[in-house]
Amino acid sequence: MTKVDLITGFLGAGKTSFLLRYAGNMLRQGRRIAILVFDRGAVNVDMPLLHALQGENCEIEMLAGACDEDCHRRRFRTKLISLGMQGFDRVLIEPSGVFDMDEYFDVLHESPLDRWFEPGSVITIVDAKLEEDMTPEEDYYLASQAAGAGCILLSRTQLAGEEEIRRTLRHVERACAAISAPGISGRVMIKNWDELTDDDYKSLAGCGYRAADYRKLIAGRASAFQSLSFLDLTLGRAELKEKSGRLFSEASFGRILRVKGFFAEDGAWYQFNATKDTVHIEATPGNRSALIVIGCELNEDAISLLLTGKIPEHHIL
């Protein structure tokens, strides 16, 4: 049977960055893999980052997330049925940061998928510099994803001090306790990703998962989170930094959790990825500018006015 690995983690944790490394290592080992990426927004800006992996031994599929949960589950099942007929060695799934873990296990146990697939490793990415001030909804997703993980892998450890890492681990433990989920002791990997070895990747591929019980809170519904998509913006590096900084610092825009996308400047394309405390920009292939704003209680008019200079037409009476 084909193992299906889930690469999960709350918004901005670094799932796509890890997936690039994890999948790349499998391809170097001669494995034939499929990658399924899905998000709850109407536009997925992570897909272009994975295109460099696509080839004879790597199929990449996207699951559009702009639909209700029942529709999303049907599409997920249909995609897996299609992949199941192609005989891959491994299937890697990168879901939204507000993914319901039960969906992964439930779908894999449905017929006919249960004849082709079995759960492999659940790897949960947690930012080593995790923000302390998180809402109950955010803590719920953080904890529920950690609860089912065979390994909790910290990202950006090279940027975090020892006390920051300890504070992050205490935060995850508190979030797990709040929903009566098991603690994370013995399941944490703390290592600079640039130093991960073949043995580390082998360990991650074999870490398995936890069939964890926890309280499923109403506060954890994905409907608490929103995303706004903006295409063909003409903003450059300096403008994106300035405007994203305002989005995070000014309460009038809502609670902004992440701003990510692509922009062009001086004939080159760049990936833009910002959280409250960090801004990351790197060169990347691209052909169209796009920006996604993710958060809670978003003020669409104010955000659109800041980024485009106008409010959405459907809001104009």
- For 2-220, give the CATH class: alpha beta
For residue 249, pLDDT beyond 70: yes
Please count the other Cβ atoms lying within 10 Å of the Cβ belonging to residue 29. 13
pLDDT in the model for residue 67 = 60
Contact (CB, 8 A) for 120 and 3? yes
Q: How far apart are CA 94 and CA 204, in angstroms?
A: 15
Confidence class for position 1, pLDDT limits 50, 70, 90: confident
Report domain extents, the chain. 2-220, 225-315
Q: How many residues does the chain have?
A: 317
Q: At CA 155, angle to CA 49 and CA 258, rounded to 5?
A: 60
pLDDT in the model for residue 317 = 45
- 308-317 residue pLDDT tens: 988 776 554 4
- 26-37 residue pLDDT tens: 999 999 999 999
The one-character DSSP state at 122 is E
For residue 57, pLDDT beyond 70: yes
Confidence class for position 3, pLDDT limits 50, 70, 90: very high
| CATH number corresponding to 225-315 | 3.30.1220.10
The strand ranges marked E within the chain are 2-9, 33-38, 58-63, 90-94, 117-127, 151-155, 188-189, 226-231, 255-265, 268-274, 279-283, 290-296
- 94-153 residue pLDDT tens: 998 888 888 888 888 888 899 999 999 999 999 999 988 898 889 999 999 999 999 999
Question: CA dist 158 to 70, 97, 154, 202, 273, Å?
Answer: 40, 22, 10, 22, 18
Contact (CB, 8 A) for 73 and 107? yes
- 267-298 residue pLDDT tens: 999 989 898 888 889 888 777 888 989 888 99
- For the sheet with 290-296, list strands across it: 226-231, 290-296, 255-265, 268-274, 279-283
pLDDT in the model for residue 271 = 87
Q: Which tokens sit at 15?
A: 């799932």
Mean pLDDT check: name the lowest of 5-9, 129-133, 196-200.
129-133
7 SS3 class = strand
Strand 117-127 versus strand 255-265 pairing type:
unpaired
pLDDT in the model for residue 38 = 78
CA dihedral of residues 307, 97, 133, 275 (deg, nearest 10): -40
Q: At CA 87, angle to CA 52 and CA 6, rounded to 5?
A: 60
First to last CA, the chain: 56
